[in-house]
Amino acid sequence: MANKTNSQALQQEANPTALSIPQLRSMFKGQVISSGHSDYDQARTVFYGGIDRRPAVIIRVRNADEVARVISLARETGLPLAVRSGGHSVAGHCVTDGGIVLDLSDMRDLQIDIEGQTAWAEAGLTAGEYTTAAAAHGLATGFGDTGSVGIGGLTLGGGVGYLVRKYGLTIDDLLAADIVTAEGQLLHLDANTNPDLFWAIRGGGGNFGVVTRFQFRLHKVDSVFGGMLFLPATADTIASFMELAEAAPDELSAIANVMPAPPMPFLPAEYHGKLIIMAMLVYTGDVGEGERIIKPFRALATPIADMVKPMQYPEIYPPEQGDYHPIAASRTMFIDRIDHSVAETIISYLQASTGMMAVTQLRALGGAMARVPVDATAFAHRKSHIMVNVAALYERPEEKAIHEAWVTDFAKALEQDDHGAYVNFLGEDGEARIRAAYPGGTWDRLREVKARYDPDNLFRLNQNIPPANGK
């Protein structure tokens, strides 16, 4: 990551509004990291590349008391406060220039009640860590498609993953949470205790306080039938894949990534760079039945590679490259259907991209997620059919305008009647798209809750919901 030589920034780091780093070190058991510390560059690096922010201080809190102390530090100094769990925010909201980063990554305790099938998980755990630990007992809670994503951000936005059709969103398994508010108060939330706030954190993101731990329901998920299936991408295979995925029983959750084939050793060289469907399939249930349900997907075309097999659930999260930090231009949306002509649009836009990689991710929704009433949680897209993410990955920041224009046009070409957005995949998309994440009465209700618990908008480095009082 490039070192910023801007003297103003350095000055601010040397004397950030009354922050004394030695004093902070004496106040916290957890690590206090500022510029010059050997961990500083690693601690300010986030998943996405092209984000090079220099916070005044990063505090790796150890417990709820320390969370409250960081919050009061932000209030007293007036410095911007970023909250970080797994660091995968698309907009890089978990790091801030000249401000304070409250880093939860050292809070990773996990207490599993095997009999009761519940778990208390601290907010610094990743989806992969939780999933591996729960699988040791044949249990699982559904998170997303990537193991390194933090359970903090993912859960607070909703959580759409490989168990979404069988068990719903991650928030549909959220039983309770502990949160530290802008006033520094530690509150317990569940359906009966502070129900307004419990409703708001199930989709409303980090707007309402810092969640220190979540209590999740666990399901019996042992081996699943799943993995990657590589098919040639044509308008027919894309449209038929999505038709099958939507018609499949709830036990199957499917994601189709339409993209140029990467030069992976298990993909024949003649496909490298050609458009393929890289599908991720997870059937949660009887393995033989899974094989039967997945058969028609395999029959859509001769598979380029077929890695679908019985597996332990955590195998769905393969090891990741820690130093992979792509720069991305992306848009997220919902659409109602993918017919032949929509599939043709997808192909022609992907072929036209000049990014080093262009991808369209299609997720069939429905199932258990759709059976929860729309107003039961702040995530209100229960009736949406297909989630679409389009992205161009690129190397040189100066190409930004080209790829942003491409995703904007592409998303416009795909637009149908569902104008919603999933908050967890929003980048710097602007206020209208935040509003689209909270349709109908959800927006007003969230603004009321925000006014009650964070009237000064202390928690504003997020997809921000301004308090109803107007601050």
By CB under 6 A, name the binding residues for ligand FAD: 47, 83-90, 93-94, 104, 123, 144-146, 149-150, 152-154, 156-161, 205-206, 210-211, 424-425, 462
For helices 235-247 and 340-352, what crossing angle results, to 10°?
Answer: 130
Q: Which string of DSSP letters, residue by residue, matches 422-452?
A: -GGG--S--HHHHHHHSTTTHHHHHHHHHHH
**Token duo for residue 45:** 């690096």
Shortest distance in whole angstroms from residue 434 CB to ligand FAD: 13
Q: Which residue, 23 or 185, has its beta carbon nearer to ligand FAD?
A: 185
Q: Closer to ligand FAD at the Cβ: 87 or 227? A: 87
What is the smallest separation between the CB atom of 363 and ligand FAD, expressed in angstroms? 8
Residue with smaller CB distance to ligand FAD, 205 or 367: 205
Write the single-letter amino acid at 383: K
Nearer to ligand FAD, 150 or 260 (CB): 150
Could you tell me the sign of the dihedral formed by the alpha carbons of 411, 466, 204, 326, in that order?
Answer: positive
Closer by beta carbon to ligand FAD, 86 or else 260:
86
Quote the DSSP letter at residue 3.
P
Q: How far apart are CA 366 and CA 167, in angstroms?
A: 11
- CB nearer ligand FAD, residue 83 or residue 163: 83
Between 287-298 and 235-247, two packed helices, what is the crossing angle to 10 degrees? 150
| Distance separating alpha carbons of residues 465 and 242, to the nearest angstrom | 34
- Minimum distance of ligand FAD from residue 131's CB (angstroms): 12
Q: Which residue number, 154 or 224, has a Cβ lying nearer to ligand FAD? A: 154
CB of 316 to ligand FAD, least distance (A): 11
Supply the minimum distance, in Å, between the C-beta of residue 447 and ligand FAD.
17
Residue with tokens 């993209």: 259
Q: Minimum Å distance from CB 330 to ligand FAD?
A: 9
| Residue whose C-alpha is closest to residue 57's, from 16, 1, 107 | 16
Cα 407 → chain centroid: 19
Rounded alpha-carbon distances, angstroms, from residue 139 to 52, 122, 165, 217, 312: 39, 18, 17, 10, 11
Query: In Å, how far are 136, 139, 177, 215, 218 from 115, measured between CA atoms?
Result: 14, 11, 20, 15, 10
Q: Which of 197, 209, 21, 203 is nearest to 104 (CA)?
A: 209
Min separation Cβ 99 and ligand FAD, Å: 12
In terms of CB distance, is 108 or 137 closer to ligand FAD?
108
Supply the minimum distance, in Å, between the C-beta of residue 302 and ligand FAD: 28
Nearest distance, CB of residue 260 and ligand FAD, angstroms: 18
Name which of 35 and 89 has its Cβ closer to ligand FAD: 89
Tokens of 103: 């880093």
Please give the residue whose beta carbon sits closest to ligand FAD in the complex. 153
